[in-house]
A and B are shown apart, each in its own frame.
Chain A
Amino acid sequence: MNIFRLTADMTHLMSVIVLLLKIHTIKSCAGISLKTQELYAIVFTCRYLDIFTDFISFYNTIMKVIFLWTSFSIVWYMRYHKIVRRSYDKDQDTFRHVFLMLPCLVLALLINERFTFKEVMWTFSFYLEAVAILPQLVLLQRTRNIDNLTGQYIFLLGAYRALYILNWIYRYVTEPNYVHWIPWMSGLVQTLLYGDFFYYYFLSWKNNVKLQLPA
């Protein structure tokens, strides 16, 4: 475990905490895309199929449980919590899951490291994670007022992905035989999708004004 990887995981954890904080304390999920949250729940379910079969480390198992548990509870809150669900902007969050999931599934069936169920699901989870943020970014652009917690949540998610790239570079240089094209390529695409958001996030931070994306 190198510093980039640890910081990446902690940033990911912080993003989830920020989102849960918003849901728990403000009882609001305004500006958060349920579609993206549902896609994340699918991503982690498909990726962590090995949770019961392959033990890697205590840290690894705990983090998997946390990401699975939190992704499903966020979806539950947004769908069923009687106060939280009222703040969900259903009419603005119109992205269709199937348009993202189907191409990712086809791609996972075609391009994978091994043609087994677990392996294809694992590959699918990476392709899907790469594009899972799109409904959230679309919603963000439609929302005129982006509150601080939503902005921070997306910033932390993007930072987590960027740190994973540093982790991969570090591991490639320091570990023999460390090559993993599927996470690398999908991770790169995923991080690039945040580029635009980062630009406006830093601009608003530098000028000390409220974050707003151009229409």
Chain B
Amino acid sequence: EFLHQQKDEL
């Protein structure tokens, strides 16, 4: 969840 949350960049 922690890692996923940060993958909002392109």
Contact = CB atoms under 8 A, between A and B. Distances in A.
Contact of B4 (A12, A54, A178): A54
Interface string A92-125: 0000000000000000000001100001001000
A69 to B, nearest CB: 14
A contacts with B: majority SS = helix
Contact of B6 (A5, A50, A57, A178): A178
Nearest to A47: B10
A183 B7 CA distance: 10
Nearest to A175: B6
Contacts of A63: 10
B8 to A, nearest CB: 5
A67 B10 contact: yes
Contacts, number: 24
Interface residues of B, number: 8
A57 B3 contact: no
A168 B10 CA distance: 12
Given A113-B3, A114-B3, A177-B2, A183 B9 contact: yes
Contacts of B10: 9, 12, 60, 63-64, 67
A209 interface: no
B7 A56 contact: yes
Interface in A46-90: 50, 54, 56-57, 60, 63-64, 67
- Among A12, A56, A164, A183, the most chain B Cβ lie within 10 Å of the Cβ of A56
Interface of B: 2-4, 6-10
23 contacts: A5-B9, A12-B10, A50-B7, A54-B4, A54-B7, A56-B7, A56-B8, A57-B8, A60-B8, A60-B10, A63-B10, A64-B10, A67-B10, A113-B3, A114-B3, A119-B3, A122-B7, A164-B9, A167-B9, A177-B2, A178-B6, A180-B6, A183-B9
